[in-house]
Amino acid sequence: MGRAPCCDKANVKRGPWSPEEDAKLKDYIEKQGTGGNWISLPHKAGLRRCGKSCRLRWLNYLRPNIRHGDFTEEEDNIIYSLYASIGSRWSVIAAHLHGRTDNDIKNYWNTKLKKKLIATMAPPPNHHLASATPSSPSHYNMINTLLPYNPSISTNQLLTPHQGMMMTMMGQQQQLLYQADMGTLVNSPNRNNFIMSHQEDSQEQSTNKGIMLLSDVRSGSSTTSTVTRVKMEHRDHHHHEELEDERSMSSAVIEDYGMEEIKQLISSSCTSSSNSLWFDENKTEDKFMLYY
DNA sequence: AAGCAGGGCAACCGCGAGAAT
DNA sequence: TATTCTCGCGGTTGCCCTGCT
């Protein structure tokens, strides 16, 4: 048998709140408080509403010092940064933004910020499949704001999928090794590259490796991103290329990963649960590394 | 002017965690 | 210790508004 419902759904009102209901709830809570029991509150307050509905209405709209709309750029950056580090934990993010509710931030992210982020990564109209220039000069400024180089990041530091996502978008001169399955990050400040790896399980690391190159070339105010698959070893071992020196990857042959695919990966990451990895954990095809 | 599509957002749903019994 | 109850959260739904055809 399932859990008993928190209220009699047949006898509670649903849908938008009327000004009268708002006034009743606000008045009751300001005078009596919640009493630590939302379930019984609507009855005491004379409302035909579910306790959960009352709680939501109070927390999101009626409690004092709530702010709606007009997110500032600073708030945007905070959201980006926190999302990159902790994922879709909206209540935690809301705690960092005075007067904002988790619901507001969630809606803002889903309807605007996510699109804005994707847009900043959009290639120019004439972009080549495997070579692109960021469409906005602010692209790297924004990303750099999110995750500035941190020399304290050291070998084996855990990295969330979202951090992996953000790191991938960074155009900074640094090297990071991210093993998606192990959550391991290796950061070598004396190198100029960024390596991102994904292996389904550590036992097969030695036989199932693929490497994808993602390199940036800065020239004056512009930056060119290049995505290159430099090494791919299929499960059936039909392909096998050895890589003698990581540095040689920069001259590898450009293959078939374009910015569109990268964007799709990021996009799917944004819509998946916070616990899922940036790359499909269950996929059975190629495994790869990103080299930045 | 009417119909349609898409976006924005308020509200609901269902689950997990922790407290209470 | 097991069961029940409540809270809080993230994901999803559905309504309303606006702009386009």
Q: Which pairs count as long-range contacts for A144-153, CB under 8 Å and 24+ apart, including other chains?
A: A144/A170, A144/A171, A144/A172, A145/A77, A145/A80, A145/A81, A146/A77, A146/A80, A146/A81, A146/A84, A146/A170, A147/A81, A147/A84, A148/A172, A149/A173, A149/A174, A149/A189, A150/A187, A151/A187, A151/A189, A153/A185, A153/A187
| Confidence bin at A167 (pLDDT 50/70/90) | very low
Q: What is the residue extent of each domain of chain A? A: 9-62, 73-118, 127-291
Q: Which string of b and e fits A45-62 if b means at least 16 CB within 10 Å? A: bebebbbebbbbbbeebb
Residue A175 to residue A81: CA distance in whole angstroms: 20
| The domains spanning A9-62 and A73-118 adopt the same CATH topology | yes
For domain A9-62, say whether CATH 1.10.10.60 is its number. yes
Residue A246 phi/psi, 5-degree rounding, is -55, -35
Q: What pTM was estimated for this model as a whole?
A: 0.56
Lowest-confidence region among A24-28, A112-116, A138-142, A229-233: A229-233
Q: Given a cut of 60, is residue A202 above it in pLDDT?
A: no
Q: Given a cut of 60, is residue A57 above it in pLDDT?
A: yes
Give A73-101 pLDDT, tens digit per residue: 889 888 988 888 888 889 888 888 888 99
Give me the pLDDT at residue A124, please: 52
Where does A73-118 sit in CATH, by number? 1.10.10.60
Residue A162 to residue A277: CA distance in whole angstroms: 8
Answer yes or no: is A60 CB < 7 A from strand B: yes
- Which positions on chain C have an atom < 7 Å from some protein CB? 5-12, 15-16
> Which of A215, A199, A206, A223 shows the shortest CA–CA distance to A247?
A215
Of residues 80 to 109 in chain A, which lie within 7 A of strand C by their beta carbon?
Answer: 88-92, 102-103, 106-107
Mean pLDDT of A142-156: 35
Answer yes or no: is A31 CB < 7 A from strand B: no
